[in-house]
Amino acid sequence: MECDVLIVGGGPAGLSLARSLADSSLRVMVVERQPETAIAVPGYDGREIALTHRSIATLKALGAWHLLPPDEISPLNEARVLNGASPFALSFETTGHGGGPLSLMVPNHRIREALYHSVRDQPNLTLLTGSGVSAVKTDARSVRVMLEDGRSISARLLVAADSRFSRVRELLGIDAEVNRLGRSMMVCRVTHEEDHHGVATEWFDHHQTVAMLPLNGRRSSAVLTLPAEAMKRVAALDDAALGDELTRRYQGRLGRMQVDAPAHVYPLATTYARHFAAPRAALIGDAAVGMHPVTAHGFNLGLQSQATLARLVREAAGSGQDIAAASLLRRYEMTHRLASRPLYAATNFLVRLYTDERPGARLARDATLRVGSRLPLARRAITAMLMQR
């Protein structure tokens, strides 16, 4: 089989890139290990995505936004950061930024579903499912990919969009900075007695981190982060006991909580590829940068990476240039590295500071929040980053 652009990974980044190339003359192919039913009707996975204004605009341009169920789009109006037992909170809201919400919360599986339906009938797209990649060979003019079922595909450009532990990245010989954090994250929809008023909280308590992300009505996405061993005990609780446990851990701030959807647990690891490109190949999404979820920007960076690459590829194709030229791939890598590296480094620093239980670190945490509250320019810059208009 032959195509112009071969995308490995049928997740949000991969499907978004395929859709971004819909108006080009390029033949696009997406290879996904899972069966097609798994991406056509993805199951609920617990993750709620805080979409920036830029990401919302991207999904609208891709024709996916109007496919989302309106009742599952929830406004996030303000974000507050709490530390330990301190009553002080550092707040970020939209005053001075044009009003409206900081971001909109949308379930991850609904975004995946909408993106699948946006590409389902795309004329220049072929979707191959049910087989992964076993080998990759590149030369000056093309790249050849062998699938596990024995099929072979030749392409002008290969794009890896197959998760933060990317098999294609490995086959391309690209190393990555991998940080396995020894912690696990539980995500769980809950109902509660009190109104959240559209406010998200990130509470760095001692030996745990609890985030509450507002959903429509008196519902939230509870995000609990614990050491991996401690999480095993919590994950074994039934729904009634888990509701009580989350109420206790959040100190009843929203009243009594009850589990509203199945909990999901994910081991935490961050990754950053040493390069985002190789001869005739590029990395997007989590294959390029696997963010810690604390800043909720991993998904948004993934959408940004595919948009950057798609723009360069469309420009090259429109002018009859090589869509996988080394100069094009260097421009993509430089652009996305500038967009991602500062945020990745700042996020990892934040996580290290606010999960360090040594006395000096505890004092530094509170001091950092209080200093931040006295720096309005810094707060406005962080708010602008969170919104990304």
pLDDT tens per residue across span 304-321: 999 999 999 999 999 999
Position 389 pLDDT exceeds 60: no
Position 370 pLDDT exceeds 70: no
> In 3-state terms, what secondary structure has residue 158?
strand
Which of 228-235's residues contact partners 24+ apart within 8 Å by CB, and which partners? 228/182, 228/183, 228/184, 228/267, 231/183, 231/184, 231/186, 231/265, 234/186, 235/184, 235/186, 235/263, 235/265
> In 3-state terms, what secondary structure has residue 324?
coil
pLDDT for res 280: 97
pLDDT for res 235: 97
Local confidence band at 362 (pLDDT 50, 70, 90 cut-offs): low
Position 97 pLDDT exceeds 50: no
Local confidence band at 90 (pLDDT 50, 70, 90 cut-offs): confident
pLDDT for res 84: 76
Distance CA 47, CA 43 (A): 11
Q: Which of 12-16, 42-46, 124-128, 381-385 has the lowest mean pLDDT?
A: 381-385
pLDDT for res 297: 83
H-only helix segments in the chain: 12-20, 36-40, 53-61, 108-119, 167-171, 228-235, 239-249, 298-318, 326-355, 359-373, 376-387
Note the pLDDT tens digit of each residue in 248-292.
999 999 999 999 999 999 999 999 999 999 999 999 999 999 999
Mean pLDDT of 129-143: 94
Local confidence band at 346 (pLDDT 50, 70, 90 cut-offs): confident
Position 95 pLDDT exceeds 60: no
The residues spanned by each domain of the chain are: 5-44+109-178+272-355
> In 3-state terms, what secondary structure has residue 279?
coil
Position 377 pLDDT exceeds 60: no
Residue 330: φ, ψ to 5°: -65, -40
Nearest to 13 by CA among 334, 276, 268: 276
Mean pLDDT of 361-387: 55
pLDDT for res 23: 93
Type of residue found at 343: L
Position 372 pLDDT exceeds 80: no
Nearest to 39 by CA among 15, 8, 59, 63: 15
Bigger pLDDT: 61 vs 100? 61
pTM: predicted TM-score of the whole model, two decimal places: 0.91
Residue 349: φ, ψ to 5°: -60, -45
Taking domain 5-44+109-178+272-355, whether its CATH number is 3.10.180.10 is answered by no
Residues making up the chain, counted from first to last: 389
Local confidence band at 83 (pLDDT 50, 70, 90 cut-offs): confident
Position 69 pLDDT exceeds 70: yes
pLDDT for res 206: 83
pLDDT for res 383: 45
Position 205 pLDDT exceeds 90: no
